[in-house]
Amino acid sequence: GQNIDQPTEMTATEGAIVQINCTYQTSGFNGLFWYQQHAGEAPTFLSYNVLDGLEEKGRFSSFLSRSKGYSYLLLKELQMKDSASYLCAVVNSNYQLIWGAGTKLIIKP
């Protein structure tokens, strides 16, 4: 089967750095997305990786290793507003989007 694994919950301190990991086993690969979802709200797009390496966008960076079936989302200079769930999703060879269950990130002062 196809599977996306992410930690269920993580806790970090305001101002710190946190890395959220995502590992995947899918039938083929055509890209990986990260979305942010605040409680009670819709998911919003954060990043897209299709080639290996690091993509940086302000305080957020996303890394991909296709050979390892692995990605991470790195959040720097954490702010209280970063408290949210972070969803990893992979596009497989049939261009289907396979979603992880999400990682709930709790930021403490």
Partner 1 sequence: IAGITQAPTSQILAAGRRMTLRCTQDMRHNAMYWYRQDLGLGLRLIHYSNTAGTTGKGEVPDGYSVSRANTDDFPLTLASAVPSQTSVYFCASSAGENTGELFFGEGSRLTVL
Under 8 Å between Cβ of 36 and 83: no
Strand, coil or helix: 82 = helix
The answer for residues whose C-beta is within 8 angstroms of residue 26's C-beta and 6 or more apart is: 2, 3, 4, 69, 90, 92, 93, 98
Q: Which of 29, 60, 70, 99 binds partner 1 (CB under 8 A)?
A: 99
User: Judged by CB, which is closer to partner 1: 56, or 77?
Assistant: 56
| Residues 32-71 close enough to bind partner 1 by CB under 8 A | 33, 35, 41-45, 48
Per rule CB under 8 A, is residue 18 in the interface with partner 1?
no
Q: Kindly list the residues in this chain that would bind partner 1 in the complex (CB under 8 A).
A: 4, 8, 30-31, 33, 35, 41-45, 48, 87, 89, 91, 95-102
